[in-house]
Amino acid sequence: MFFWTPYSFVRLVFFLIAGILLGIYQPDFLPQHFTLPTLLGFVVLYFLLHWKLTSDIKPIGTGLVGLLVIFLAGYVNTMFNTDSRRPDHLNHVRESVEKYTVIVSGYAEQKEKSWKVEGIIQQYHNGVEWKNAYARVLLYLSRQDFEKPFSFGDRLVINGSPQALQGPANPGEFNYKRFLTFRKIYHQHFLRNGQVHYVENSPPSIIVAYSFHVRRWAENILSKHIAGEQERAVAAALILGVKDGLDNDLVQAYASSGAMHVLAVSGLHVGIIYLILSFVLKPLHKWRYGKWMLAVISIFVLWSYAFVTGLSPSVLRAVTMFSVIALSGPLNYRTNIYNTLAVAAFILLVWEPYLIMSVGFQLSFLAVMGIVYIQPKLYWLWQPSNFFFDKVWQITCVSIAAQLATCSLGLLYFHQFPVYFLFSNLFVIPGAFISLLLGILLLGVSLVEPAAFVVGKVLEFILWLLNYLVFSVEQLPYSLINNIYITTFQSWLLMGILISALLLLQYRKFPFALMLFFSGLTFGMVQWYHYREEVNHEKFVVYRVAGQSAMEWIARGQSFFMADSVLVNDRERMRFHIRPNRLISGVHQVHTHEIPFMRPYDGARLFAWNNHVILQVTAENFFFPDGMEVDYIVLSGNSIRDIGKLTQLTCKQLIIDSSNSIYTATKIMNQAHELNLPVYSVLHQGAFITKL
C-alpha cells in the first residue's frame, strides 16, 4: 500500500502550495492585519503541543498543527510578496501622473516593431510635486525612434502616465493581464521619441548588471562565429536562452516536431551540464572528501552558467534544483529523489511564491518527476544488450515519461500535440547535448581565434543539421495534432487519469481502478457539456482588434470570417485575437474569401444568415432600402458620426466595431443612450458574441 512516511518533504511542499494558491485566488480569506498573528499563534501552539502531549498522540497532534503552520506560512508569504498590497503601489494613486522616474530592471527583448523591457517606477510627478511610488512596468520602445534599447540600471524620466493592463477583449483570448500580474506587473507604456529622458546608470544590483554584461558578450561571440541566421538564432536560444532571433517558421517547426523544449534554457540544459560534470569528476569519489569536492565544483559551474545566461528565472529554477541534488550526495541524506525535488521546490516557492503560476516551473517539475517515476519502469520492460539500442531505448523512455507527465499542461497551454516527438527526440536530445557542449567550449576558447573559428564552424554545422532534421519532421504527414481545446478542470482530470493509472499498475488496488474510471467518466461528461454549449450552436461574433473590423459567423465547425486582408494575413494577430474562440467553438473549416450570404450595397454590406439579417455600414455615403428591418447594425470605419442617419432603420442591437476611433465610438454611445437605443461598443466592452 502507498504510505506518506518516506515523503516527508513532499507533504510540506503540498501544504505550502495549498497556502500559496489560497493567497493567490482568495487573497482576502483572512484580514491582512490578522494573518501574521494567526501564523505566530499556531507556531506557539505547535511548540506547546510538542512539549505537553504524550508520546502516543504527539506525532498526530503536532504533525497536523505543523502542516497547518506550513499552510498558513505559504498564505502569509504570498500576501507579503504581492506588490499590489503595498501602500505606496501605483495602483493606489488616484491623482494624475504627468511624468515618472523608472529604473530599467530587465534585459531588453527585441520585438517586431519595438524593444520590450521591464522597469521599476520609483517616483511620479502630479503636476505640482514629486512623490514616491512603486510599481513594475513594461516599457515598449518604438524601434523607429530608438536604435537600441536602454540597459539594466538606466534611470529614466518618462513623460505621460503608464496604462493599467487590460483584460482579454475576445472570447478565449490569452489573459495577458493575468499572466503579467503573476509576475507582479500591472502597468505598461508604449513610448515614442521625446517621451524618454536618460538620467544616469545606477543598477540596483551589481551582480545582475555584470551578468547582463557577460550575457551580451556571449551573444556577440556566438554572432561572430556563427554566420547562418537561423543557426545563430537557435544557438542563442539553446545556449543562452535569448529568443529574439527566432522567426515564426523556426518556432513552428520545433513546436510541430516536439522539440520546443530545447529552445528554452531550463532543466534539460542544466541537467546536461550536471551530467557532464558528474562523468568528468567521477574519479573524485575515490578521495576522502571527493563527494564534497564534486558538489562544490558542480554548484560553482552551474551557477556560473546561470550567470552567463543573465540569471533568467528558468535557469535559476533549474540550477537551484540541481544544486539541491548535488548537495544531497555529500550530506548522506537517506532520502528519495522526490524529497530532494520537494526541497528544491520549497526553496524556490519560499523565495518567490508566484513561481507556482509559472508555466515553466510547472512543466519543469512535472517533467522531472515523470522521468524519475515512469522512465525506470519503462526501461525495465526491455533491456537491450546492444550499446546503440540501449541508448536509443533510454532516450525513448525519457521522452515518453516526460511527455506523459506534461501532456495535460501541454494541451491546456499550447492546444497541440506533436505526433513524432519520439522520433524527433532521438536526434534533438543528442543534438542539444553536443550543441550546448560546443557552445560552452566556444565561449571558453573565444580568446584563441583559430580555435574559436573551428569550434564555431563545427557548432554551426551541428545546428544546421539539427534545423534540417526538425524541418523534415515538420513536413511529415500529420506531424502535429492542433486545435485541441480543454479546460483547466479537464487538465486536472487528465492528470488524475494518469496518476490513477500508474498507481493501479503498481499497487493493483481496486480504489485506483475507481479513481481511473470516475476521472475518465467526468472528463467525457465535461467534453460533452462543452460540445452542447459551445460547439453545437450558431454564433455571431464581432471581435475587438485595434483598428480593424472583424466579424465571424460560426455554425457546427464551419466559420465565415469577414475582415480586411491585412488582418487575415497577419498570423500573429489572428493567432492571438481570433483563434482562441475558434478553438472553443470547434471550428475546423474557415471561409474568408467568399461569404455566400453577403449582398453588397453602396457603403454597406447586408448579411442574411439563418433567418437573421445583419447590416454593416462601411462608408458615410451608404445606401440601403428605406424601412429595412434588420437584427443587428454594425458600424465600421467611422462611417457614422450622427446616429440620426439610422432612424429610418429598425434593429435589435447597434454594434460599434473596433475599426472606429474611441472618440467616435464614445460619441455614438452617448447619442444612442439619449435616444434609448440598444448599443454595444466593442472598443469599450470587448467582443460582441451572441448565439443565434
| pLDDT, tens only, 145-167 | 888 889 999 999 999 999 999 88
CA distances in angstroms from 122 to 98, 202, 498, listed in the order given: 14, 13, 48
- 477 versus 246: which is more confidently predicted? 477
Average pLDDT over residues 516-536: 92
- Residue 424: is its pLDDT beyond 70? yes
Side chain identity, residue 357: M
Rg (CA), the chain: 29
**CA atoms of 673 and 692, how far apart (whole Å):** 25
Average pLDDT over residues 286-314: 84
- Residue 627: is its pLDDT beyond 70? no
**Ramachandran angles phi, psi of 624, nearest 5°:** -160, 160
Closest CA relative to residue 429, chosen from 598, 275, 203: 275
pLDDT of residue 1: 41
Q: What is the pLDDT of residues 637-657, one digit of tens each?
A: 998 888 877 777 778 889 999
Q: Is residue 411 within 8 Å of 486, Cβ to Cβ? A: yes
Closest CA relative to residue 372, chosen from 329, 321, 422, 332: 321
| C-alpha cell, 584 | 472553443
Q: Is residue 231 within 8 Å of 461, Cβ to Cβ? A: no
- Residue 306: is its pLDDT beyond 50? yes
| C-alpha cell, 371 | 522521468
Q: Is residue 655 within 8 Å of 682, Cβ to Cβ? A: yes
- 268 versus 191: which is more confidently predicted? 191
**For the chain, what is the total number of helices (H) and then of strands (E)?**
22, 21
Closest CA relative to residue 316, chosen from 292, 281, 351, 343: 351
pLDDT of residue 108: 86
Count how many residues are written for the chain: 692
pLDDT category, 387, cuts 50, 70, 90?
confident
pLDDT of residue 496: 93
Average pLDDT over residues 611-627: 82
- Residue 562: is its pLDDT beyond 80? yes
**CA atoms of 53 and 162, how far apart (whole Å):** 57
**What value does the mean pLDDT of the chain take?**
87
Terminal C-alpha separation, the chain:
54
- Residue 47: is its pLDDT beyond 50? yes
The share of the chain scoring above pLDDT 70, in percent, equals: 96
**CA atoms of 368 and 360, how far apart (whole Å):** 12
Lowest-confidence region among 54-58, 320-324, 403-407? 54-58
pLDDT category, 312, cuts 50, 70, 90?
confident
pLDDT of residue 171: 92
418, containing H or E segment: strand 416-418
CA 646 to chain CA centroid, Å, is 45
| C-alpha cell, 101 | 522616474
- 3-class secondary-structure state, position 651: coil
- 3-class secondary-structure state, position 685: helix
Number of C-beta neighbours around residue 288 at 10 A: 7
- Residue 321: is its pLDDT beyond 90? no
Q: Is residue 131 within 8 Å of 177, Cβ to Cβ? A: no
**CA atoms of 205 and 152, how far apart (whole Å):** 9
Q: Is residue 632 within 8 Å of 653, Cβ to Cβ? A: yes
HSE of 28 in the Cβ direction (CA atoms, 13 Å)? 0
pLDDT of residue 60: 63
pLDDT of residue 651: 84
| Cβ-count burial 616-642 (b if 16+ within 10 Å, e if not) | bbbeeebebeeeeebbbbbbbbebbee
**CA atoms of 368 and 496, how far apart (whole Å):** 18
What is the per-residue DSSP string for 135-201?
EEEEEEEETTT-SSPPPTTEEEEEES-PEEPP---STT---HHHHHHTTTEEEEEEE-TTSEEEEEE
pLDDT category, 323, cuts 50, 70, 90?
confident
Q: Is residue 86 within 8 Å of 107, Cβ to Cβ? A: no
Residue with cell 543534438: 431
pLDDT of residue 55: 59
Q: What is the pLDDT of residues 73-129, one digit of tens each?
A: 999 999 999 999 999 999 999 899 999 999 999 888 888 788 999 999 999 999 889
pLDDT of residue 414: 86
Residue with cell 489572428: 574
- Residue 45: is its pLDDT beyond 90? no
Q: Is residue 682 within 8 Å of 551, Cβ to Cβ? A: no
Lowest-confidence region among 5-9, 231-235, 346-350, 591-595? 5-9
pLDDT of residue 6: 66
- Residue 214: is its pLDDT beyond 80? yes
- Residue 430: is its pLDDT beyond 60? yes
| C-alpha cell, 128 | 505640482
pLDDT of residue 246: 78
Number of C-beta neighbours around residue 464 at 10 A: 15
pLDDT of residue 53: 62
**CA atoms of 379 and 395, how far apart (whole Å):** 10
Lowest-confidence region among 244-253, 550-559, 576-585? 244-253
- 3-class secondary-structure state, position 404: helix
pLDDT category, 665, cuts 50, 70, 90?
very high
Q: Is the dihedral of CA 330, 331, 332, 337 positive or negative?
A: negative
Q: Is residue 534 within 8 Å of 583, Cβ to Cβ? A: no
pLDDT of residue 273: 85
